[in-house]
Every structure is written in C-alpha cells, then in structure tokens.
Chain A
Amino acid sequence: MTEPFTHLHVASAFSLRYGTAFPAALVRRAAEHGMDTLALTDRDGLYGAIKHVIACHEQGVRPVVGVDLALDGAASPPSTPDDLFGGGPPYGRRTGRGHAHGHGHGRGTAGEPARVVVLARSGGWAALCRLVTAAHHAGERGEPHVTPGVVAEHATGPDGEPRLVVLLGPRSGVGRAVAERRDDHARALLAAWRATVPDVVVEVSDLYGYRDANTAARMIGLADSTGVPVVLTNAVRHLDAADHQVGNVLDAARKLVPLDGRHLDDPTAHAYLKDGAEMARVAARICGGDTGRAGRLLAETRRVADRCVLDPVEIVPLLDPERPRLHLPETGEDPVPALRRRCEEGLARRGLERSAEARDRLAAELHVIEKKRLSGYFTSVAGITDMIRGMGVRCAIRGSGAGSLVNYLIGIGEVNPLEHGLLMERFLSEGRKGLPDIDIDVESARRLDCYRAILGRYGEERVACVSMMETYRARSAIRDVGAAMGLPPHEIDVIAKAFPQVRARQIRAALSDLPELRDSGLNDRSLQTVFRLAERLDGLPRHIALHPCGVLIGNATLRDRTPVERSLLDFPMSQFDKDDVEEAGLLKLDVLGVRMQSALAYALREIERVENRKIDLDAVPRDDPETYDMIRLSRTIGCFQIESPGQRELVAKLEPRTMHDLIVDISLFRPGPVNSDMVTPYLETRHGFREARYPHESLREALKETNGVVVFHEQVMRIIDIMTGSGLSEADRARRALGTPEGREAVRAWFVPLARENGYPPDVVEQAWKVLDAFGGFGFCKAHAAAFALPTYQSAWLKRHHTAAFLAGVLTHDPGMYPSRVILDEARQCGVDVLPLDVNRSGKTWLVERTGPAEGGPGEFGRGYGLRVPFSAVRGVSEAEVDRMVAGRPYTSLADFWERARPSRPVAERIVEVGGFDALHGLRPGEPRWRPGRLTRRDLIAQVGALDRGSPVGAAGQLPMGFTERVTPGELPEMTEAEAVEAELEILGMDVSRHVMDFYRDLLDAIGVTRARDLLRRRNGAEILVAGVKVATQTPAVRSGQRVIFTTLDDSTGPIDLTFFESVQAHTAATVFGSWLLAARGVVRRTGGRAVSLRAVHCWNLADLDRVWRSEGLDAVRAMISEVPAPGAGVGGRPIEYGNGFRVSPYSDNGAPPAAREGRFLSGLPAEPQRRLWHASSGSSGPSPGR
C-alpha cells in the first residue's frame, strides 16, 4: 500500500481574487480523499494559515504551510546566459511589468511576474513569517515580491540548518524557460537557486493544458540531470472542477481586464483538489507511462511533505486547552507583584480601602488572573491607558471589561462595577480560554495618534495592527463581475447601487423578492449571467484592510508568530484577523476611535473659546432634570445612541429619569429584546400598568432592577447561578451556549435537573427556563450598556445646555447617522442661528458665534448663538487651501482673497456661489433690496474668471498689481433664493439660507398637508397627508419577520416618522428609496405621551407632484394623490427563523455596520465633507435604474 498523496501547492480563497475555496473546506475534502497531510500555500501571504492549521487539527490532518510569492523582476528573464553570469544580479533586472510579452508560457502569464512556492520545514514557521514580512516590506503595498537573496536570508537557521523549501514550478523562471525551450537558461537559473538556497526542489504539474505534460516531462529531465528532487503538485485553486468559472472571473477582476482567453491563468478546469488516484494518473501521464519514474515522483513528493509537517500547537497555542502558551509583552519586572501593588494603590485612590466587598472581589479576580498568568496583560494595558490620557485624549473603557474591579482600580476604566452590579465573570472566568478582551474608546480624531504612541512605546518589532478581510457582497460582486463581462462602467454603477447591502448570494432572490427591484428592469435576461456569477463570489475575500480597532502588543518574538505588512496608512498590520490573533495566543487591545468622543472634546473646546468657561464633563451632575426633559420629548437628534427614529420613539415611551434608565434604554434597543418583546412588559411594569412578576422569590434580587424582565446578560448569569448553584463562571458558559439551538438543548438538559435538585418546584423551573430560552443568546451586556450610557448622558447634557457648541462638534466630527443638513435643521429647531459661509468669519471647522440675547421660545434652548459654515464644507476644497484661507483672514476683497488664499478657480467660484463674499461685498441675493446696478454673486463669479485669466501661469499668487479686468456691477443678474439654496445643496450638501421645503409651501397648503408640529393635534387613526425631505430610511429587524421600511421626513417644523409595511411596499418601495422629497398619506398612530408616528399607505415624489401642479394644476395633483394603488405583490423571501421562534426578514439591517462606515474611523477630520443628503441603512436599496 502506497502512502497517500499530499498536495503541496494549494491556494485558498485567501489568495485574494485568485482562490475560491476556504481552508476548512479544502482540509475536509483532503480528509475525505484519505489524505493525512495538506499544505496551504496562499499567494502573497499567510492570511489563511491559522484557519488551515486549526482545520487540520480538527480533521486529524498534518498541516504544511507555505506561501506563493512573486519574484522581483523575474517577469523578464535575462535573455542570454551572458546576462545571467556577467555583472548585475543573476536573476534578472527590474524592468517593470508587461515586458515579457511574447515569451509567455502560452497561458495568461504574460506580464505577470514569475512565482515560487516557499514551504516552511518543520520548525520553520518563524522563518516563513519573517520571509512574508520581508516580501511585503520590499514590494509596493499590495505587490509583495522577493529575490532569491531575500529567500536565502530566511532559508537557514543560525547553524545553517534549512528552515524553508523552495519549489520551482511551471510559473517560476525555471519552468518558463523550459516551456520556452531555453534549456540552458533554465539550467543556469536552477543552478543559481541551488547555490543560494540549500533546500530547492523542482515542482511539476499538469493541468491538461496544451503542452503542460510536455513541459513537466522536460522539467523532470532537467532536474534528473542535475540531481534535484522533483515533486508533483496540482497547483490547486478550486475545490471542484466546476469552480473554474469563478476562477476565470477572479482572474479578470484581479487583472482589471475583461474576460478573454488570453487573460486566463488556467485555460482548463483541472486546478482542483484531485484525489490520490487522479494524481497517480497525472504522474503516469507526465512520466510517459514510466511507472518507476512516476512512483519515484510520488515518493519524493511525500518525502518533502514529511519534512514540512508543522506542530499545530506551536502555531496555534490555544489548541492546547490546558496550558496555552501566550505571547505577552515583556514588562521588565515580575508582573504578579506589580499588579498586586497597583491594585492596592487603586483601593486607596478610589476610597475602597475599607470596603470588605471590594477586597473580597479583588481577591477573587486576582486569583483568576494569576492562575491564568495574565497579570502582565493587565499591567501592560494600564500602562497604555495611562499614556493615552497623558496625551490629553479622552479615553473610556467599553464592553465587558467594565465589569472588572481590577480594571477600575488600576485606572483602565472609570466605571465602578460594584456600583452597577456588574460581574467580572462576564469578562474573565476560569472556564474561558484565551485572553480577555479589553476595549478602549478614544477620540476618533486622535485614534491614530494613540496607535503611534503605542508603536513608539513598544517599538515596531513588538506591535502590529490587526487586519480584517473585506469580502464580496452583492454590490462589490456585481461590480467585479460586470467589469469582467465588459459592461460599461456607468451601467455597472447604476446596477450595483440599486441593490441594498445584502449578501452576494441573495442577488437573484432580492430581485424577485423586493418590489423596488422587481419593476426595475434588472430582471433582464442579459444580466442573468452577471448575477449568477456574482452570487458565486459570495463571501470570498476581496481585499485586506486595517481592522477598525485591534492592536497587537507582543514581545520581541512577535514577528516570528505573525507576518506583517503595511496598511494603507503605513501602519504595520498583521495578516491575521482578530480571531486568528486570539487563537495564536497574541495579546490584542481594541482601541476604537469613537466620533462622539471627538465631538464632545470639540464642543468643550468651543465653549472654552467662546465663553471662556472650562467644563469638566465627567464631573457634571448626572441627574439634571432639564436634560432628561429634553430626552423625554425625543429631542435627541445628535445625541449618542438615542437619536435614531426607533430610539426617539423608545425614549418617549420609557421616559428616562436616571442613568440606570438610560442603561436599560440602551440595552432594550437591540434586535434581541425588540424581537423577543421584552420592551412592552418592561414598559408596562415601569409605568405601573402591570405588577412586576418573578418566577421565584429567590430571583427577585437579580431581576428587581428591570421589574422582573430579563434585559442583561448579567441577569441571565445570576438566574442560572442562583438556581443551579454552579457559580458564575459556569453560568456564563451556559449563557454563551444559549445562542444556538443545539446549545439551548444542552443547557436545558443540564439546567432543569440541577435546579430541581436544588429544591425548586417543577413549575418554577419550567417558568425560569422559558425566560432563559426566550432570551436566547440575545440581550445585552450590562457592563457595555453602562459604559455607553455615560457618553449618552454627556452628549444630551451638552446639547441641552450648550446647544451650539455641541452641534458644532457633531457637525465637525459626524458621529451619528444623520447628514449635516438634518443636524443644521435640528439647530434651527433649537433656536440656533445658521450662519452662511463668510470668508472673514468662517474657520476650518464649524465655529460658534454669539448672535444675541439667550432668550427664545419653548424648546429653543440654543437661542443667542450661531453656527458658522466652515471652509471645509465646500465641495472639492483641499486641506492646504482651507489652511491658507483661514490664515489669510481678514480679506478686503475678492481679489485680495484670490491673491492670498490662492484657491483653485472652481473652489473660489463655489465660495462666491454659496455667499462667502456676501458680507464683504454687501450682496443681498434674493432680497427685495437688491436692485439692478448693484454688485451680484454672478458678477463676482465673472470676476473670478478674470482673476484666473490674469494670473501668470505657474507663478500663483504673483498677481501684477493694478491689473484686473473690470467687471461692471449688476452686469449679470443676481441669483434667486431658489438658486441659492440649490447651490448650497450642491456645494455644501445642506440648505443653509432657507429650508428646502419652503419652496413647496404653497403646494403643501393647497393639498392640505399636515406639518410635523401639528401632528400631536391629529387624532389617533386619522388618515392625513404629510411631506418633507427624506432624512433617513432604515429596515431594522422587527418581530413580525417582515421587511419594514422606517422613513423619517423633515418638513422644517420637525421630524415625521413613517412606517411602510410590506403590504404597501409594492407601490411605494421604489419611490421611498429613490426620491429625496416625499409626500405621503398615512394613518396617525400615537406611540407615547408625546410621540406620533404614521403608518404609511401611499407615497409620491414631491418633485413630481410639484411639476404636475405647475403644468396641469391642482386638480391633476388631487387626482394623483387620491388614486388607489393597484394591489401588488409585497416583499418575498423566507424570514430567517431563530431557534427560539423569532423571525427576521432576510432584508433587514443586520447588526454589523457596513465596512465602509467603519473605515471612516480611519480619517481624522472628515477631509472630504459628506455629500450624502440622507441616511440609508445597510438594508436600504438605492435608486432603481430606469427611474
């Protein structure tokens, strides 16, 4: 019996835009084939290595890991042996890409660099990691490459023992030379490799392409004649032959070319994971029926595999459940006494020295920490938070870490867990493997400064950011497939944007399920192939990106354990994602940039600048009645966590009065609690409509804080602990298991008998189990909510008492869901004046100005202050221009501004258009006081042109004195008000001078539209007309399993919340998603004391109604809005059903924010001002094509 075949050259989906199979699937298939060893050799990196090793460990397969690397300059092999050995490096020169046309291997390799596979030998994992790091360091970002010299540097250990094996295959310089029948050259290249690297083997493969077998046979001949071992591979990139179409699309997408035979890497469908029998046939075919030679080929393959088998536990320490080897930072002293000392100091500092409760809790926590040998982790994190605060950056703990007393004592967090009843076991327990997560929120604008400081403190060798894989979703898959199929770019754009952000594999289902897509013309047959292929890209990694918050902090051996490349912003970035990092036993700290923290910091600076008052936000009393009054009235736009339409409805019903109410509010507003209907019972008992009920008296203590309703993870843990007596660690383990149906069954089988043993009667146990079961894996970590509630309150307090400064912070740092124009409108509602751009008053960011006495009507708590539109809001302005504009103030004229601020011509024109010179030149566009003969904005725009023509080319700023073309004032007519607002929307993305809806006032009055401020006066159940600018569309997960569209309109008197159920979406969905100005008919629904929302029946594009009104008159409009829609099919698609009976529409927003949004954490200030005019959640479709 021969030994099983081993695939030594296997690309998984982590070979970006190349491979199509995930490591686990490849390992499973190999095991099914009876293979006991499998290699993973992804292109350019070890992105899939940890997953491969874990999968191998689970399947009992021995892991081999390598990398498939491009060679520097080898795209153009030296043309003569003289080149090879005379002068210069023997491996060819860097001559750039695309030089090798005509030499190609007969397949899509022309212009692609030559590649080699490098495998780690047993014990060579560190060498492989460092080689990959070196390859990325050498190449441009995204184009790593090596030279044989670089490989040689890593190929041997300190005593010269080989650590790496180099496979020279058909895509290497050697293979290409053989294919081109340049045998001498091939021989010379092979000799050069052998002289450099000790363990070199020749790799042959035969994918049944033209001449493949022939080339392979000749490579064997070459190797045999020089005594080099030969191995057989299948250059695997697919699981099954049928996947090769996807491979073709990926080839085209990677090379940015349309699909065509000459661009394909593999013209056959044979690069899949073949079984041993098939590979034996390949071997026989290559060896021309010489069974002896074929046998030797397979045996040699096996020998190389044997010497490359890695120890899984060495690479993935967490596979060892007993004593995983963690790689913690060096601390310089024994961390155990160091942590104890810091905790002792903390007790004194926090005034807890005499608290027996605190001392007991501390002893328990330290026991676990020391048993798990994590003391060094806590002292390292404390060192980092000290450093961040020392830089003057706002910094707060988030997540379960707030439940640890140690974190509070050593100053990592500011939340006292004893005060809020938070549990340490939710964060760290004996039963949990691996390192606990400590998450820190910092100001988003300073996040990268924090990274730099951490890098500076520990050094590049010891620190790396965590990466994450962006995967194909519907829109990106359609873009790449569309391009490969040769569709025109603008068409691709329209098609992709029409889809909501769903998974790629839902594309065709979405087309038939969603009314707005059904009628869009996308169901055309010609697009079927595009959609079919796009679906097959579902979930494949597309590109690597910096994780929004993870930072690895290791010791001097960090780069032996993870390959590191450069991120877009030039930070060292591990090729492992957050799960890999944890499995690899590396210490990760989450430093999340939170825009609200930046907004708060900005507001405090503005208050100090304008009022000369310093406010210590953390010391502000947390029971301010005015703040809670504002929250109860749903005036929360701009506030942290509570500004969405759904939350505005919830706070109006819940009427929070304390921090604890806010903690509950934040925890309730999650898909889980909303789905399992915890909200209604909680509100009923809170307002006294119903008495609080407890399954058992002994649970009262745990459930009292939420009137008997289970809201927090901590409460679930307590119930389990109280009824089973198993301890909180075990209880947390059980709580985690509740997330899956199988887990719930297991917990039930464990929980019920144990609780009965403890003397609880069967009906009580049954009732308690029902509570746990319904809760499922949902609910919220109270520690997390407590950490969130503080900035929520602080933001609300600032909004109530320093409205203008707070909104300036919100506008500058954009922390929330709403676009600027909505925040501006909220400012107007609060009595804050919105001040236009003014070259002599505007700054780089939003500035507060005093405008008058601070008195206003009810709710106008911001009266007396104004917000000045900043230069940075102008579309297309560069940071350097903004800096010059601010530095050059004050200006005496447009010409002065042109000369000293040196804006580009379009930017200067835009500033004129939105009134930046109105004050300076005394312009009054639209006002009746303007008369012909006076200077207009249009005159000034003409003057910008004149100045531009007058500027000598290439010597900006050197305007010849006294020379400008004369522009006669009033030569050109002034802009109308409507034109001015149009320009503001176009250039600033917001309506500054007037509200857009003002222009529709007459129409709205004519058709009898109810305004937002009058909604409360309409009776429940009345059918009314409303209209406004679309502020947001969301499709959250709701209890019914429907896709419900929540839309918020703004009609300049306040927000109007509309709900579109599936029954009306057939005739409304396309309009809701596709229009900006909407009119709608809906039924009034009172949702709380001061809250109203509308159940929508029909809706129209307001701009269409306006057009009809102007051209055909009022009766035509009336006919349109009284039309009864034809019944149409609603939304299709089976709801996703959870084990505990909750149903969620497949098109609802799923919790994870789209990566694009997370990516915004990267930029400090919003350099490119937001152009979006409304908020669209990830489940919202874009405008349909054809409309």
Chain B
Amino acid sequence: MSRLYGDPIEVWVRDGHPAQFVWRDRLYTVREIQDYWVVAREWWKTSDADPGERRFWRVGAATGKEAGTYELRFDTASGGWLLLRAWD
C-alpha cells in the first residue's frame, strides 16, 4: 500500500527526468523510471492565462540499501517539486 505525503522536495534532473532527490533529509537515487505522464492544469479555474501543466513520475529509487517506489510531481508554473506518495 502506498502512503500519501505531498512534501516539497529538492530534485536533480538529468535528460529531462529526475535523477536524484532529497526527501526528509535523505538523498534518494533514481534507479528506474516506471511511468511518466502529464496533466494539463484546469486553466479555466485560474486567473492566469497559462497555468502550465503538472508532470508526474513514478520512479524506483533507493537511499542506501532501502529501495522503494515513489511518485514525484513537478508543477511547470511554480517550478516546484512534491513527493506525492511512496511505496516503501
């Protein structure tokens, strides 16, 4: 079962995909990208002309010997990353 978080995280990107991220003071290295999709924002609910899109990654990542699956979200408008959920 996954757990929901929604924590802001810091992410290093390589070739357009997340490569490493820091979550709760621990550094995770991305081993594989299991899934990647985008969702356009519901622009008609915002006052902004182009609220951008949200990009989702489901990645296999490890910190030290502990490995798990994590869902990361990048918001193109704010430029911020969140860790949405984790299976670990």
Contact = CB atoms under 8 A, between A and B. Distances in A.
B81 to A, nearest CB: 18
A560 interface: no
A268 B35 contact: no
Interface residues of B, number: 14
B43 A245 contact: yes
A213 B39 contact: no
Main secondary structure of the interface of A (DSSP, over half): helix
B49 A209 contact: no
A1087 interface: no
B53 interface: yes
B53 A268 contact: yes
Contacts of A261: 42
A285 B37 CA distance: 11
B40 interface: yes
A330 interface: no
B50 interface: yes
A255 to B, nearest CB: 15
A270 interface: yes
Given A268-B53, A269-B53, A532-B49, A209 B44 contact: no
Given A268-B53, A269-B53, A532-B49, A259 B44 contact: yes
B43 A208 contact: no
Contacts of B5: none
Given A242-B50, A269-B53, A532-B49, A210 B37 contact: yes
12 contacts: A209-B37, A209-B38, A209-B39, A210-B37, A213-B35, A245-B43, A259-B42, A259-B44, A268-B38, A269-B40, A484-B44, A485-B44
Interface of B: 35-40, 42-44, 47, 49-50, 53, 56
Interface string A236-261: 00000010110010000000000101
Contacts of B53: 268-269
Contact of A210 (B39, B43, B47): B39
A285 B34 CA distance: 11
Contacts of A242: 50
Contacts of A269: 38, 40, 53
A108 interface: no
Interface in A960-995: none
Contacts of B35: 213-214
Nearest to B42: A261
A614 interface: no
Given A242-B50, A532-B49, A267 B39 contact: yes
A212 interface: yes
Nearest to B43: A245
A949 interface: no
Which 10 pairs, one residue from A and one from B, show the smallest C-beta to C-beta distance? A208-B38, A210-B37, A259-B44, A268-B38, A269-B40, A267-B39, A208-B37, A268-B40, A209-B37, A245-B43
Contacts of A285: 36
Nearest to A481: B44
A1134 interface: no
B87 to A, nearest CB: 17
Contacts of B44: 245, 248, 259, 484-485, 529
B13 to A, nearest CB: 16
A529 B50 CA distance: 11
B16 to A, nearest CB: 9
A484 B44 CA distance: 10
A367 interface: no
Interface string A194-228: 00000000000000111111100000000000000
Given A248-B44, A529-B44, A532-B49, A268 B39 contact: yes
B36 to A, nearest CB: 7
A974 to B, nearest CB: 57
Contact of A211 (B37, B38, B42): B37
Contacts of B42: 259, 261
B40 to A, nearest CB: 5
A39 B49 CA distance: 32
B28 to A, nearest CB: 22
Contact of B38 (A245, A248, A270, A485): A270
Interface string A263-274: 000011110000
Nearest to A212: B37
Nearest to B47: A529
A976 B87 CA distance: 84
A577 B38 CA distance: 39
A707 B15 CA distance: 77
Nearest to A533: B44
B50 A213 contact: no
A485 B42 CA distance: 12
A269 B54 CA distance: 11
A798 B39 CA distance: 69
Interface string A977-1020: 00000000000000000000000000000000000000000000
A267 B49 contact: no
Contacts of B39: 209-210, 267-268
A214 B36 CA distance: 10
Contacts of B40: 244, 267-269
Interface centre among B38, B40, B43, B49 (most CB of A within 10 A): B40
A1067 B41 CA distance: 44
A213 B36 CA distance: 8
A901 B39 CA distance: 63
Contacts of B36: 208, 213, 285
Given A208-B38, A261-B42, A268-B40, 18 more contacts: A208-B37, A209-B38, A211-B37, A212-B37, A213-B35, A213-B36, A214-B35, A242-B50, A245-B44, A259-B42, A259-B44, A268-B38, A268-B39, A269-B40, A484-B44, A485-B44, A529-B44, A529-B47
Contacts of A267: 39-40
B31 to A, nearest CB: 14
Contacts of B43: 245, 248
A283 to B, nearest CB: 15
Contacts of A208: 36-38
A280 to B, nearest CB: 14
A209 B39 CA distance: 6
Contacts of B37: 208-213, 268
Interface in A518-535: 529, 532
Interface centre among B36, B37, B42 (most CB of A within 10 A): B37
A248 B36 CA distance: 22
B62 to A, nearest CB: 20
Contacts of B47: 529
Contacts of B49: 532
Nearest to B55: A208
Contacts of A214: 35
Nearest to B50: A242
Nearest to B45: A259
A772 to B, nearest CB: 48
A866 B65 CA distance: 104
A248 B49 CA distance: 14
A245 B44 CA distance: 9
B80 to A, nearest CB: 19
Interface centre among B36, B38, B44 (most CB of A within 10 A): B44
A237 to B, nearest CB: 14
Contacts of A532: 49
A245 B56 CA distance: 20
A1056 to B, nearest CB: 48
A212 B35 CA distance: 10
Nearest to A206: B37
A640 to B, nearest CB: 50
Nearest to A267: B39
A244 B44 CA distance: 12
Nearest to B39: A267
Contacts of A268: 37-40, 53
B51 to A, nearest CB: 10
Contacts of A210: 37, 39, 56
A529 B43 CA distance: 10
B74 to A, nearest CB: 13
A242 to B, nearest CB: 7
